[in-house]
Amino acid sequence: MPQKNSFATCLFSAAAALMAQAAHADGVRQPTDVMPAPAEARVSEGRVPVAGVSLVVAWTRPAGGRLQAAVDRLQSRWLARIGAGSFPGTESTGLQLAIDCRGSGPPIPSEGDDESYTLDIAGSRAMLRAQTDFGAMHGLETLLQLLQRDQAGWFLPVVAIRDQPRFPWRGLMIDVARRFQPVPVIERNLDAMAVVKLNVLHLHLTDDQGFRIESLSHPELQGRGSDGRYFTQAEIRGIIAYAAERGIRVVPEFDIPGHATSWVVSHPEIASLPGPYGIERQWGVFNPVLDPTNEVTYALLGDFLGEMAALFPDRFIHIGGDENNGVQWNANPRIQAFIRERGLKDNEGLHAYFNQRVAAILAKSGKRLVGWDEILHPGLPLDCVIDSWRGTDALAAAASLGYDGILSNGYYIDLAYPAADHYLADPLPALSTLTASQRAHILGGEATMWSEWVTPETIDSRIWPRTAAIAERLWSPAGVRDIPDMYRRLAIVSAGLEEAGALHERNRDLMMRHLVGENLDVPGVASLRTLLDLVEPVKHYNRGQQQVWGSQLVPLVGIADAARPESGLSREFADSVDRLLFAPGAIDRSLAGPIGDRLREWGAAAREVTGALVPEFPALREAEAPARDLADACAVAAEALRAIAEGTPLSADRLAASLAALDRSAETNGSATELPVLGPIRLLVAAAAAQGERPKLPDAGWRARVLSIAFPPAPAEAAR
């Protein structure tokens, strides 16, 4: 229900956000539904009605070109949102926006730029103040997110916002090497990054599967290493300019010495074993690794990195450094002799030697080296930066040695985990024992979009909206951690991300057409939509294990690709099952009816997919198993729900049979998808069997009892 003119004055600080969580978790719009949550938002009684469609901007000081362009972009989003039905006849003046921006930041943003702003909305106007245009642009995004509507029309809250980021490095890494992602993908994701105040685009440009950057000094690198799918230098300059216009830095990564097959396709002489080499098409960790003992390696790296240092203005260059399996170094007696002669001890010592040489090459161009955890060896220059895919302990260990670091572990959005998992990962966990000066080394973090299993059609749906939750972790105060409230605001910002150009929701129809052809109106397609809303791609690295034929050359147009990493429908279902079973004091049987309706609807949809659609559309064959699994699970759930509604416990036999059926529904089925509703359905079954115990148990004891039946320990664990 929309609220009108009844906002109590409150301080939306971290603590208030926590206290307010219960009241906010029910889908009602709040005055400051902004993501990332501002550091401080003081809301007052009343609202500022936004009557006219225009945004009338008054400048305290002359506007810089970059900020003027940002205001122009905001104007068009503002108009598109509130202009519907308003033309012609725009008689009333729109919102007055006064902007006081003290100056432009540098033409290319750099780490440590002032990104703070204040936004005061009261009376009939908004006042935005910032030290730099970077801060002002963040304030513009906040303003647009604050705009909301009820029956009375568009309005803004009366609010005083003081905002600045918690961490200076808030990134999104896009792997364009494994599957190339062309310029339009990058640009629309830069637009979306700006919405949630992310400020670093990390481009993973070279890997075993592709060399995706044009070298003019060594054109054979992209010439033989990319199938012609790479960014030209002109395109890169365009991306850098586009990003800078939005206050976003661009950090390139050239992964060496491992993950380097695409280098040695054209330069086998710098590999650690003789070639020939071809572009790697599949996924994993491969043997080819550069030869750190060969001066020719450093000559080529000097040419190439010098060229890249001139092309990319950012002060940081990422050189990867991860997952060198050592196979080629071990197999080359000359390399092992080099290690002995130089007293380098082992392969790790050789890797350290290599990094020192590369850091020296970069230092000549004034660049700081960034690398994954594996680069951290004794002797690594102190100005190098650790990008941790291992975790906060590794990051803290590096910080205590004096290295700056960023966290990527916990933000692996390619692994298809829920937003909540990423949201709670913190570069500086609450229990961190780092001192204040060590904490200053923790610069922030990055969401990592590895591209084994994404294409330009699906990548947005893997990045968004979950990355907005990561953006909040990196921007907002550490105490902003309420998961239901995060999900409530994530749904709102998701629409804003699409408004800015992201395609994560819109592309669903495109993915459905791969499955059923061009006509989405054919009978039964609504059922397919329901199925796709309930399945998720398998988690972690399981897709690669299940679809071992996966490669760069295989299209990604299956059920797992049409599914979203996190099923909102399944999460809602889990919430309603939780409210039914774990209501304080007693099972809330009044909720059984609506849940039963849901299950019947899903069961019917699943049967329609298997009965009507699969025979018709060959591309849907892999939907048959998940649809059958869903139908079976819905039948099991319906029986449990009936037993709960009637207050008649399921027999031990029926309990065992139901759990066994759910085990079958959870088996790997070739589609690389899973059904998250199976978890809450197991709870329904367990509670149906144990419901007689409910009156005798305290709330926590009842929950534990149901969980222990639904998810019995594996036999090995039970024996311990």
Return residues touching ligand ACM (CB under 6 A): 322-323, 372, 389
Measure the CA angle with vertex 689, ends 685 and 690; round to 5°. 115
* Measured distance CA(673)–CA(300) in Å, rounded: 44
Q: Which is nearer to ligand ACM, 231 or 389 (CB)?
A: 389
* Measured distance CA(631)–CA(546) in Å, rounded: 23
Pair of tokens at residue 517: 């052809």
* Measured distance CA(679)–CA(193) in Å, rounded: 33
Q: Which is nearer to ligand ACM, 63 or 174 (CB)?
A: 174
* Measured distance CA(197)–CA(621) in Å, rounded: 42
* Measured distance CA(686)–CA(680) in Å, rounded: 10
* Measured distance CA(255)–CA(225) in Å, rounded: 14
* Measured distance CA(421)–CA(45) in Å, rounded: 35
The enclosing H or E element of 210 equals strand 210-211
Least distance in Å: CB of 322 to ligand ACM? 4
Which amino acid is located at 396 in the chain? A
Decide if 639 is catalytic.
no
Q: Which is nearer to ligand ACM, 165 or 258 (CB)?
A: 258
DSSP 64: P
- Among the options 40, 187, 235, 323, which is catalytic? 323
Least distance in Å: CB of 395 to ligand ACM? 13
Residue 581, phi then psi, degrees to nearest 5: -80, -35
Q: Which is nearer to ligand ACM, 109 or 252 (CB)?
A: 252
In 403-558, where do the E strands start and end? 404-407, 442-449, 536-537
Residues 6 or more apart in contact with residue 262 via CB below 8 angstroms = 177, 206, 207, 208, 209, 210, 211, 221, 225, 226, 279, 280
Q: Which is nearer to ligand ACM, 55 or 370 (CB)?
A: 370
CB 697 within 8 A of CB 705: yes
* Measured distance CA(687)–CA(710) in Å, rounded: 8
* Measured distance CA(233)–CA(211) in Å, rounded: 13
Of 560, 557, 561, 577, nearest to 569 (Cα)?
Answer: 577
Pair of tokens at residue 261: 């097959």
* Measured distance CA(297)–CA(290) in Å, rounded: 7
| Dihedral sign of CA atoms 461, 464, 466, 470 in order | positive
CB 375 within 8 A of CB 351: yes
Least distance in Å: CB of 27 to ligand ACM? 36
Q: Which is nearer to ligand ACM, 201 or 662 (CB)?
A: 201
CB 445 within 8 A of CB 459: no
Q: Which is nearer to ligand ACM, 204 or 267 (CB)?
A: 204
Catalytic center residues: 323
